[in-house]
Chains A and B, each alone.
Chain A
Amino acid sequence: MSDATTKTAPRSKIRAPRINDESRPFWEATTRGELLVKHCTACGENHYFPRTFCPFCFSDATEWLKCSGRGTIYTYSVTRRGEPYAIAYVTLEEGPTMLTNLIDCDFDRLAVGQAVKVKFVDTGEGSALPFFVPG
Chain B
Amino acid sequence: MSIKGKAYIAGIYEHPLREGTGKTVPQLHAEVAKGALEDAGLHKNDIDAYYCAGDVPGMGGINQAEYMGLKLRQIDSTETGGSSYVLHVRHAAQAIAAGHCKVALITLAGRPRADAKENYSVRPGGGAPADYGFEAPFRPSIVNMYAMVAKRHMHEFGTTSAQLAWVKVAASHHAQHNPHALLRDVVTVEDVLNSPVVSDPLHRLDCCVMTDGGGAIIMVAPEIAKSLKRPRIRVLGAGEAPKHLNGGKVDLTYSGAIWSGADAFAEAGVKPSDIKYASIYDSFTITVVVTLEDLGFCAKGKGGAFVADGNLISGVGKLPFNTDGGGLCNNHPSDRGGITKVIEAVRQVRGEAHPKVQVPNCNLVLAHGTGGLLGSRMGSATVIMDREDA
Q: Which residues of A contact B (CB under 8 A)?
A: 13-23, 26-27, 37, 45-56, 58, 60, 74-81, 85, 87-89, 91, 95-101, 112-113, 123, 129
Contacts and interface: CB of A to CB of B under 8 A. Distances in A.
Contacts of A50: 134
Given A37-B248, A75-B149, A112-B152, A52 B27 contact: yes
A13 B197 contact: no
B148 A87 contact: yes
Nearest to B244: A55
Contact of A79 (B22, B24, B199, B247): B199
Given A23-B130, A56-B69, 13 more contacts: A17-B134, A21-B22, A47-B248, A49-B131, A58-B44, A75-B155, A79-B198, A80-B196, A80-B199, A81-B199, A87-B145, A96-B247, A98-B248
A53 B250 contact: no
Contacts of A60: 34
A80 B69 contact: no
B135 interface: yes
How many chain B residues sit at the interface, stated as a range, is 35 or more
Contacts of B230: none
Contacts of B199: 77-81
Contacts of B137: 14-17, 123, 129
Nearest to A53: B30
Contact of B247 (A15, A56, A75): A56
Contacts of B160: none
B151 to A, nearest CB: 5
A45 B252 CA distance: 20
B117 interface: no
B143 interface: yes
Chain A contact residues: helix, strand, loop or mixed:
loop
Contacts, number: 150
Q: Which of B138, B141, B152 has the most CB of A within 10 A?
A: B138
Contacts of B81: none
A14 B136 CA distance: 11
B248 A48 contact: yes
B130 A49 contact: yes
A23 B22 CA distance: 11
Interface string B195-221: 011111110000000000000000000
B138 A49 contact: no
25 contacts: A17-B137, A20-B133, A22-B26, A22-B27, A23-B133, A26-B134, A49-B134, A52-B30, A53-B34, A55-B67, A58-B34, A76-B151, A77-B147, A77-B151, A77-B199, A79-B139, A87-B144, A96-B247, A96-B248, A97-B245, A97-B248, A99-B134, A99-B138, A99-B140, A112-B155
Nearest to A47: B247
Contacts of B37: 58
Nearest to A78: B200
Contacts of A96: 247-249
A51 B137 CA distance: 18
